[in-house]
């Protein structure tokens, strides 16, 4: 996977050299010291530590008619004072990459978009998650996307867009569902002046997991009466039977998606976007292998031959939609609202249907503030699981002087998790996070200090935890 990452970076740089683009390079160095009183986010047996973080990084920016590129590359070294086994010092575990580039060899007609994100991400929201704490329930992840596409003007108001997208998703943790996706897209767009455009789109996607689904089932049957074992007949009574299940890999599938949509600017301050369509999931075949074992007590006395057959999930389909409104109350204040249904892939539980509605209000002047609210319902396709979340978010940056600013962050989410094998009851969780910090900017250095608080309050007591983090850091930018 790292070959793909470096390949994308080298291709973008080669393109830049061919176009004789001017680079803007910005190296920086962050040194951070923090105290964390619950590095594992546990309810009991909490472990604390002093953690030193060193982050050398480089930003490359190119902006020309031929190429637009923004690359951030950094190494996040972490050293633990008390628990050195958790140190992150290797290249494989410390690198972070964010690449966005658009190459336009034939102006306004032929494009190549490339992006790459190498980061550490949460595995499952049902487990521990905390702002500023990425030591538990996380995995290194890389998502590389290459998207060549063509925009062909059929007339002055009608255009055809055709493209192909390659996506490579990799997770370091074995729980993660690494996969490749190949998508072919066609879109026809009709513009009615500057205020209205409508479009129709068709996508075909094939999802290829690293390992396709393979299910093995072993049934245990008791022996009653007499059974011959070698030259001896054994008399036994009935013993309760059982069954074991072993599942490896994940479900591959193809999707067909058709949508129609419109973008309408009602007034200079009010813009509406909407689409509606349908998606069809066609799952690929896997293998189901069955075997029967006969036992007396804990001893297996006979075993039947394995029997394999094709295993395939039933096909599904669903309506999808997206509606969004943006309203500019003034040059400082704006409102946004949205309601959507779509499908996406989780880190470790396959595809799921996501229904979301929410909104936000933004104030952008001397004080920069965003307040938002949301409700999301996630229904999983390949496992019996449903999650709902309702919450609010807040971010703010408040200048306190010419060089001094305060940064505030607040999150609240109420989760409702359906029963599963780990938690056989419906779990209800209130999850809180808050962060406050001060930044003081010098000519090439920014000094910062702050505090982070995480709290998880669940009706399953073992899932409760709280976490406090205090940090001091310096960032040098050249």
> Can you give the pLDDT at residue 311?
82
pLDDT value at residue 216: 84
Q: Which pLDDT does position 247 carry in this prediction?
A: 76
Which tens digits make up the pLDDT trace of 102-114? Answer: 999 999 999 999 9
Residues of the chain scoring pLDDT < 70: 1-21, 221-242, 295-301
Q: Are 208 and 179 a contacting pair, CB within 8 Å?
A: yes
pLDDT at 292: 79
Give pLDDT tens digits for 360-398: 999 999 999 999 999 999 999 988 999 999 999 999 999
pLDDT of residue 224: 57
**What confidence score (pLDDT) does residue 289 get?**
86
């Amino acid at each position: 996977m790292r070959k793909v990452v470096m390949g994308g970076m080298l291709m973008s740089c080669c393109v830049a050299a061919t176009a004789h683009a001017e680079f803007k390079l910005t190296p920086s160095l962050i040194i951070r010291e923090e105290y964390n009183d619950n590095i594992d986010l546990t309810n009991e047996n909490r472990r604390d530590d002093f953690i030193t973080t060193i982050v050398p990084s480089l930003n490359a920016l190119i902006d020309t008619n031929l190429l637009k590129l923004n690359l951030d590359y950094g190494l996040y070294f972490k050293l633990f004072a008390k628990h050195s086994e958790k140190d992150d010092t290797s290249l494989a575990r410390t690198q972070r990459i964010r690449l966005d580039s658009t190459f336009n060899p034939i102006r306004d007609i032929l494009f190549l978009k490339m992006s790459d994100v190498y980061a550490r991400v949460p595995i499952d929201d049902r487990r521990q998650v905390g702002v500023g704490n990425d030591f538990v329930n996380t995995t290194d992840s890389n998502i590389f996307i290459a998207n060549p596409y063509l925009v062909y003007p059929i007339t002055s108001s009608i255009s055809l867009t055709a493209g192909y997208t390659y996506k490579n998703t990799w997770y370091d943790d074995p729980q993660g569902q690494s996969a490749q996706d190949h998508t072919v897209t066609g879109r026809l767009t009709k513009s009615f002046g500057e205020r209205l455009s409508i479009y129709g789109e068709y996508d075909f996607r094939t999802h290829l997991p690293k390992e396709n689904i393979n299910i093995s089932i072993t049934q245990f049957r008791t022996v009653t009466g007499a059974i011959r074992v070698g030259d001896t007949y054994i008399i036994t009574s009935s013993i309760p039977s059982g069954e074991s299940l072993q599942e490896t890999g994940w479900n591959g599938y193809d999707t067909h998606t058709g949508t129609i949509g419109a973008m309408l600017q009602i007034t200079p301050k009010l813009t509406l976007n909407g689409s509606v369509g349908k998606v069809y999931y066609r799952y690929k075949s896997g293998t189901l292998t069955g075997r029967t074992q006969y036992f007396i007590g804990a001893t297996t006395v006979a075993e039947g031959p394995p029997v394999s057959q094709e295993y395939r999930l039933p096909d599904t389909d669903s309506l999808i939609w997206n509606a969004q409104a943006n309203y500019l109350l003034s040059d400082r204040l704006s409102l946004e609202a949205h309601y959507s249904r779509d499908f996406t892939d989780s880190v470790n539980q396959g595809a799921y249907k996501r229904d979301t509605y929410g909104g936000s209000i933004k104030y952008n002047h001397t004080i920069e503030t965003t307040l938002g609210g949301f409700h999301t319902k996630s229904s999983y396709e390949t496992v019996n699981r449903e999650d709902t979340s309702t919450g609010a978010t807040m971010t703010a940056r408040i200048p306190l002087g010419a060089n001094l600013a305060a940064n505030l962050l607040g999150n609240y989410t109420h989760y409702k998790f359906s029963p599963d094998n780990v938690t056989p009851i419906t779990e209800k969780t209130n999850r809180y996070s808050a962060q406050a910090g001060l930044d003081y900017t010098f000519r090439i250095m920014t000094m910062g200090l702050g505090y982070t608080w995480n709290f998880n309050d669940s009706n399953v007591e073992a899932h409760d935890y709280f976490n406090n983090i205090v940090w001091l850091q310096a960032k040098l930018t050249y």
